[in-house]
Chains A and B, each alone.
Chain A
Amino acid sequence: MSLLPKSTKRRGGNGNGSPAESEATGNGPQIEGALLRGGERRPANGNGNGNGNGEGNGKVNTQALKETATEIPIQAISWLDERTGGSSTLRGVLLRKVPAHDWSYTLGSAVLFAFVSQAVTGVFLAMYYDPSATQAYRSVQHITDEVFMGELVRGMHRWGATVMIILLFLHLGQTFLYGAYKYPREINWVIGVVLLVLTLAMGFTGYLLPFDQRSFWATIVGVNINASGPVMGPYLADFLRGGPEFGAATLSRFYAIHMLLIPGLMAALIGAHLYLVIRLGTTAPPWAKAKKRRELSREEI
C-alpha cells in the first residue's frame, strides 16, 4: 500500500487490516461516505497502516494500483467536501424526498434547461453581434451565413426562445391544475409570474435585435402599444425608445435590457424560486391519497 497516500491521519475506518477484507467491503460505502453522509465525511479506509502486503515481492501489485485509482477521486472529493460542506448541500438538493409524481413535475427543470440554453447561446451570439443601428442587420447576416455553425447557434437561440415560452406556460398550467400555488407556496407562484413577465420581456426586446423590417415594425407597434396606456403609457414609450422617436439609442437600449438587465433579474429570481422549491418541497399530485391507517390486528394489540 505504499502507493496510497498516507492514511494514518484518518480517523474513522473499521479497522480491518487485510486488503482482502477491504476489497470485500468495496468502495461503494466509501463513495457514499464522501458524498452522502455528512456526518462521516472522512472516508472509512480499511487499509489501516501499511500492512506489508506487496512489499518486497518485487512485482507490480495490480490490486494496489487499482485501489489507488479508485481512491484518488474519492480523496479529491473528500478534500473539497471538508472545505466546502458541499455534499450535505447537494444531498439536500438532489436527494430530497419528493411525493409520488408524474412526468409533468419535470416541466420546471425543462424551463430551467431552456433558460440555460438561451443564456449560453446568447453569450456566444454576443461575440459576433453589433448593436448599432447601421451594423446590426449586417452582423446578424454575418452570423447566419458566414460564422462556423452560426446558423445553428442563432437558430437554437431563436427557436429556443419560443420553446422556453411554451414550456413556461405548460409549467404554469401544471402548477395551477395541481393546486401547487396554495399555502405555503404562494410566494413561489408570485416569483414564477414575475419570471413569466420577464421572459416575455426578453422575447420583446430580443425580437428587435436582428433589425430587419419585421423586427423594426414589430417593435414600433410594441412600443406604441405601451404608449396606449393612459397617463403613464407615453412616458413608458419614451423610456423604451430612449426619446420621442425610434432612434439609434433604441437598439442599444433594447440590447442592454435584453442581455444584461433582464437576465440578471431572472437569474436572481430563479435562484429564489429554486430555494423555495427545495425548502418547501413539491406538492403531491391531487390524486395522491394519504395511506389509510390500518386497523391493528388482535395479535399486534
Chain B
Amino acid sequence: MPAAYDGETVTRRGLFTGGAMAAGGIATAAFALPALGFAVGPILEDAAEENFQDVGPEADFNTNTYVSKVISLPESEGTGEAGKTTIYLRRTDEKRDTDELGQLYIAISTRCTHLGCPVRYVTASERFICPCHGGVYSFDGKVSGGPPVRPLDRFETKVDRGRVLVGDRFSLNSKLERKKPRDPSNHLDGLWQYLYPSRPTT
C-alpha cells in the first residue's frame, strides 16, 4: 500500500484492518472469557462454611475400638446416597495417642489417601484396609503398608452438651501434624509436600 502522504506510518486500510480484527477479538473475548471462567470457576471458590454434624452421645464411643457413623459431606449436596460417607470414631486414649492435635474424639475419614477408595476398619487386626489397591493403615491411621502417601484424614470434633459433633476434614503428615485438607494422592512429607500446595477450595 503506498502511503497517502510523506511520513504516513499507518495507512487507511491498515487502520481499518487492525480495527476490524480488534473489534472481532474483543467480541470473541467478551463471550469466551466469561464462559471459560464459568467452567473453571469451581477451582477458585472458597471452602464451604464450617459445618458440624451430630453423630451421637458421648456414651457411644470408647477408647478401644472404632465405631462407624454416616455423615453427609456438605460439598456433595444433591447427590443423594452418593454424598454420604462413613467415618470411624473413637475416644482419644492418652497413653496410645501421643499426637498434639488436642481432640478428645478422633474421627477418621474412610477415604484412602492413595486414590480415594473407601477403607474398612478390621477389628481383629486393628488396621484400616483399602479394597482397591491394598493400602493398610494402623490403629491411629498412619500408613503401615501399600501405596498410600500419608495417614488417613480426620475430621474436627467437639463435644456439646454430651453430644459428639463432627466438623470439617483436615489432612495429616506422617508425624500426625495437622495440615489443610488435600486430595488423596497428595504427599505431605519431605520435598514432595511442596509440589502439592493447599488450594482455595479446601
CB pair A217–B76 under 8 Å, yes or no, is no
Give the dominant DSSP class at B's interface: loop
Say which size band chain A's interface belongs to: 20 to 34
- In the complex with contacts A235-B43, A247-B83, A249-B42, A217-B197 CB distance below 8 A: no
- Residues from chain B with a CB closer than 8 A to the CB of A248 are 76-79, 83
- In the complex with contacts A134-B80, A242-B42, A227-B197 CB distance below 8 A: no
Q: Which residues of B contact A (CB under 8 A)?
A: 39-40, 42-43, 45, 47, 73, 75-80, 82-83, 114-118, 132, 181-186, 195-197, 199, 201-202
Q: Give the distance in Å from the alpha carbon of A224 to the alpha carbon of B111 in the complex.
A: 11
- Residues from chain A with a CB closer than 8 A to the CB of B79 are 133-134, 246-248, 251
CB pair A224–B43 under 8 Å, yes or no, is no
CB pair B186–A227 under 8 Å, yes or no, is yes
- In the complex with contacts A221-B132, A228-B185, A234-B186, A244-B115 CB distance below 8 A: no
Q: Give the distance in Å from the alpha carbon of A177 to the alpha carbon of B115 in the complex.
A: 36
- Residues from chain A with a CB closer than 8 A to the CB of B197 are 231
- Residues from chain A with a CB closer than 8 A to the CB of B183 are 224, 227, 233-234, 237
Can you name the residue of chain B whose Cβ is closest to the Cβ of A244? B201
CB pair A245–B73 under 8 Å, yes or no, is yes
Q: Of the candidates A216, A225, A244, which one forms a contact with B82 in the assembled complex, judged by CB atoms under 8 Å apart?
A: A216
Q: Give the distance in Å from the alpha carbon of A47 to the alpha carbon of B195 in the complex.
A: 82
CB pair A243–B115 under 8 Å, yes or no, is no
Give 13 A-B contacts (CB < 8 Å), ordered by A residue: A134-B80, A216-B82, A220-B116, A221-B115, A221-B117, A223-B116, A224-B115, A233-B183, A233-B186, A243-B45, A247-B75, A247-B79, A249-B42
- Residues from chain A with a CB closer than 8 A to the CB of B83 are 133, 247-248
- In the complex with contacts A238-B42, A243-B45, A227-B185 CB distance below 8 A: yes
CB pair A230–B196 under 8 Å, yes or no, is yes
Q: Of the candidates B43, B75, B115, B132, which one forms a contact with A245 in the assembled complex, judged by CB atoms under 8 Å apart?
A: B75
